[in-house]
């Protein structure tokens, strides 16, 4: 991937290059970094809000009864991020007691929390129910039974969504939650004797459940928009099928998956909104839609800055730059998802030569490097010539990095800073 002289503004509305210097929210980053130890994560709260509005605006126009965004906490559980989305009036999608407590401790309204974990242990659920959590996504028959058992114990009627698998293959993303191999969701099956309809009927008739909607999360970084459309068509047909049986579900939680640009342009929220408008056209005005987003909300708000710790050559003459941090404790997506990120020089100059660099992390582990893991081909990043201690910046670094990172080799985790 050639990333020579990328325009940072193509990746974040809050980044700007002026006279070779990089600014985030108008703050000169070279000055900001003086006396700070890298690697560093730096977030723009303004950009979080920009991304929130980018989703909200097109969806508000589709004609649904209501639209709400639920921030998917797993994508970035930092308190300041949660606080920003609280200020936006967001709902929150949580998948563990830890995430739930983080939102509640930050001042979140339990009624605006959706609990989606596929494994709901008794103690976890009891605490969630006692905390008055708004919605639970039921992921299987046993999940349903367990949830009901605890609701009965606590003597509360709880609102539930059925988490479905529309069985449409997504192919384009590593993180697919639909299709025949998915570990998530109850496969939709409208045959009379199906387990799926048994679950729906059970929930409808339970004294401890109020069955209010359907939950579907197809996966993260969805590029294959036609598969998305096909899946949404299945959900729309499901809702209409249930309506005919007098099961009127008012909440449609469409999960997350709005992708971000890691170097290739991706479909934006307008396209996702259009698909929902077209596929749910006849029943939209009866639906309260929830969009659970993580990656799209947080990726562009965060940048990751490294210093060059070492420069060397491999035996065939490739220039290697060694960063002062490991990918394991900064941006594990490089390893887990085999993703390249847009990377730029912190400072650019006129007439500085471009060099094709190999990029490796600070640990002795060979995995800790930029390399295509399927083909084992080396991956090169084109940057203006660097010297030891110069800085480079990973863009789109705000999603999933902090939540996933490890202290492998007991490397220190990067500090996190926020700009308003
Ligand atoms: C249930 C659920 N909702 C929402 C999301 C957020 O997805 P994304 O970050 O792609 O928007 C996830 C993440 O995988 C998820 O598991």
Domain count, the chain: 2
Ligand 1 pocket test target in 68, 75, 215 with most atoms within 8 Å of CB: 75
Answer yes or no: is 53 within a domain: no
Ligand 1 pocket, 179 CB below 6 A? no
Are residues 127 and 222 located together in one domain of the fold?
yes
- In the reported structure, the alpha carbon of residue 318 is separated from the centroid of ligand 1 by a whole-number distance in angstroms of 38
Are residues 218 and 338 located together in one domain of the fold?
no
Q: How confident is the model at residue 1 (pLDDT cuts 50, 70, 90)?
A: very low
Dihedral, CA of residue 45, residue 53, residue 278 and residue 234, to nearest 10 = 30
Note whether 178 and 215 are within 8 A (CB): no
Note whether 304 and 397 are within 8 A (CB): yes
Q: How confident is the model at residue 287 (pLDDT cuts 50, 70, 90)?
A: very high
In this predicted model, what pLDDT tens digit does every residue of 36-66 receive, in sequence order? 999 999 999 999 999 999 999 999 999 999 9
Q: How confident is the model at residue 4 (pLDDT cuts 50, 70, 90)?
A: low
Q: Which domain holds residue 287?
A: 116-293
Nearest-Å Rg of the Cα atoms of the chain is: 23
Answer yes or no: is 186 within a domain: yes
Q: Tabulate helix, strand, coil % of the chain (nearest 5).
A: 35, 25, 40
Task: Over range 316-335, report the average pLDDT.
Answer: 92
Residue 336 is predicted with a pLDDT of 81
% of the chain surpassing 90 pLDDT: 84
- In the reported structure, the alpha carbon of residue 142 is separated from the centroid of ligand 1 by a whole-number distance in angstroms of 23
Are residues 282 and 306 located together in one domain of the fold?
no
Give the CATH number for residue 344. 2.40.37.10
Task: Over range 117-126, report the average pLDDT.
Answer: 92
Task: Over range 226-255, report the average pLDDT.
Answer: 96
Are residues 162 and 128 located together in one domain of the fold?
yes
Are residues 159 and 274 located together in one domain of the fold?
yes
From the alpha carbon of 294, which atom of ligand 1 is closest? 9
Are residues 336 and 283 located together in one domain of the fold?
no
d(CA 167, CA 234): 9
Ligand 1 pocket, 256 CB below 6 A? yes
Ligand 1 pocket, 75 CB below 6 A? yes
Ligand 1 pocket, 93 CB below 6 A? yes
The domain boundary, picked from 272, 293, 314, lies at 293
The domain boundary, picked from 263, 293, 323, lies at 293
Answer yes or no: is 225 within a domain: yes
Answer yes or no: is 73 within a domain: no
Are residues 149 and 270 located together in one domain of the fold?
yes
From the alpha carbon of 293, which atom of ligand 1 is closest? 11
Note whether 397 and 38 are within 8 A (CB): no
For 407, left (φ over 0), alpha (ψ -120 to 50), or beta? Answer: alpha
- In the reported structure, the alpha carbon of residue 220 is separated from the centroid of ligand 1 by a whole-number distance in angstroms of 6
Ligand 1 pocket, 295 CB below 6 A? yes
Task: Over range 311-320, report the average pLDDT.
Answer: 96
- In the reported structure, the alpha carbon of residue 350 is separated from the centroid of ligand 1 by a whole-number distance in angstroms of 42
Tell me which of 335 and 416 has the higher pLDDT. Answer: 416
**226 to each of 31, 144, 177, 217, how far by Cα in Å?**
46, 32, 16, 15
- Antiparallel, parallel or unpaired: β 66-72 and 91-94: parallel
Q: How confident is the model at residue 174 (pLDDT cuts 50, 70, 90)?
A: low
In this predicted model, what pLDDT tens digit does every residue of 183-225 receive, in sequence order? 889 999 999 999 999 999 999 999 999 999 999 999 999 999 9
Residue nearest to atom 13 of ligand 1 (CA): 220
Written as one string, the DSSP assignment of 235-254 is: HHHHHHHHHHTT----EEE-
Note whether 212 and 160 are within 8 A (CB): yes
Are residues 347 and 285 located together in one domain of the fold?
no
Ligand 1 pocket test target in 54, 70, 71, 72 with most atoms within 8 Å of CB: 72
Answer yes or no: is 111 within a domain: no
> What residues form DSSP beta bridges with 358?
320, 380
Residue nearest to atom 4 of ligand 1 (CA): 256
In this predicted model, what pLDDT tens digit does every residue of 74-120 receive, in sequence order? 999 999 999 999 999 999 999 999 999 999 999 999 999 999 998 88
Are residues 214 and 187 located together in one domain of the fold?
yes
> What residues form DSSP beta bridges with 186?
164
Residue nearest to atom 16 of ligand 1 (CA): 217
% of the chain surpassing 70 pLDDT: 98
Answer yes or no: is 29 within a domain: yes
User: Residue 2 above 60 pLDDT?
Assistant: no
Ligand 1 pocket, 292 CB below 6 A? yes
Ligand 1 pocket, 269 CB below 6 A? no
- In the reported structure, the alpha carbon of residue 352 is separated from the centroid of ligand 1 by a whole-number distance in angstroms of 41
Q: How confident is the model at residue 125 (pLDDT cuts 50, 70, 90)?
A: very high
Size (the chain), residues: 420
CA angle 339, 345, 346 (to 5 degrees): 115
Ligand 1 pocket test target in 257, 272, 302 with most atoms within 8 Å of CB: 257
Residue 173 is predicted with a pLDDT of 61
Residue 400's closest CA among 339, 352, 348?
Answer: 339
Residue 3 is predicted with a pLDDT of 46
User: Residue 178 above 70 pLDDT?
Assistant: yes
Answer yes or no: is 84 within a domain: no
Answer yes or no: is 187 within a domain: yes
Residue 374 is predicted with a pLDDT of 82
Q: Which helix (H) or strand (E) holds 175?
A: none
Note whether 307 and 346 are within 8 A (CB): no
Are residues 220 and 319 located together in one domain of the fold?
no
Are residues 189 and 283 located together in one domain of the fold?
yes
In this predicted model, what pLDDT tens digit does every residue of 366-381 receive, in sequence order? 899 988 888 888 889 9
Give the CATH number for residue 276. 3.20.20.10
Ligand 1 pocket, 176 CB below 6 A? no
Are residues 284 and 324 located together in one domain of the fold?
no
Residue nearest to atom 7 of ligand 1 (CA): 256
Ligand 1 pocket, 398 CB below 6 A? no
The domain boundary, picked from 293, 313, 345, lies at 293
């Amino acid at each position: 991937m050639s990333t020579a002289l990328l325009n940072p503004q193509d990746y974040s509305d809050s980044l700007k290059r002026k006279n070779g210097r990089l600014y985030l929210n108008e703050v000169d980053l070279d000055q900001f970094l003086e006396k700070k130890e890298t690697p560093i994560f730096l977030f723009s709260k303004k950009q979080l809000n920009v991304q929130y509005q980018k989703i909200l605006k097109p969806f508000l126009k589709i004609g649904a009864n209501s639209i709400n965004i639920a921030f998917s906490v797993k994508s970035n559980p930092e308190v300041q991020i949660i606080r920003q989305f609280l200020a936006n009036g967001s709902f929150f999608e949580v998948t563990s007691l830890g995430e739930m407590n983080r939102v509640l401790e930050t001042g979140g309204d339990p009624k605006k929390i959706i609990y989606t974990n596929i494994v709901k242990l008794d103690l976890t659920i009891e605490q969630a129910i006692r905390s008055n959590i708004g919605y639970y996504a039921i992921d299987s028959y046993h999940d349903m039974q367990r949830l009901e058992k605890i609701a009965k114990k606590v003597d509360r009627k709880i609102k539930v969504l059925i988490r479905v698998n529309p069985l449409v293959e997504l192919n384009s993303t590593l993180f697919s939650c639909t299709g025949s191999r998915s570990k998530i969701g109850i496969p939709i099956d409208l045959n009379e004797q199906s387990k799926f309809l048994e679950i729906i009927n059970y929930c409808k008739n339970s004294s401890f459940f109020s069955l209010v909607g359907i939950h579907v999360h197809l996966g993260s970084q969805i590029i294959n928009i036609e598969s998305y459309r096909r899946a949404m068509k299945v959900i729309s047909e499901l809702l209409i099928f249930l309506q005919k049986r007098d099961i009127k579900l008012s909440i449609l939680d469409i999960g997350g998956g709005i992708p971000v640009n890691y170097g290739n342009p991706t479909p934006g929220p307008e396209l996702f909104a259009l698909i929902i408008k077209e596929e749910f056209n006849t029943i939209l005005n009866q639906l309260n839609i929830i969009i659970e987003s993580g990656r799209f909300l947080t990726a562009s708000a965060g940048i990751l800055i490294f210093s060059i710790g070492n420069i060397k050559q491999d035996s065939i003459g490739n220039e290697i730059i060694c960063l002062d941090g490991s990918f394991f404790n900064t941006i594990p997506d490089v390893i887990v998802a085999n993703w390249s990120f847009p990377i730029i020089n912190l400072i650019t100059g006129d007439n500085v030569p471009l060099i094709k660099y190999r990029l490796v992390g600070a640990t002795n582990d060979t995995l800790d490097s930029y390399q295509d893991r399927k083909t084992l081909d080396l991956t090169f990043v084109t940057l203006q010539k660097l010297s030891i201690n110069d800085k480079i910046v990973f863009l789109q670094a705000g999603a999933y990095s902090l939540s996933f990172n490890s202290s492998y080799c007991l490397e220190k985790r990067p500090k996190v800073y926020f700009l308003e």
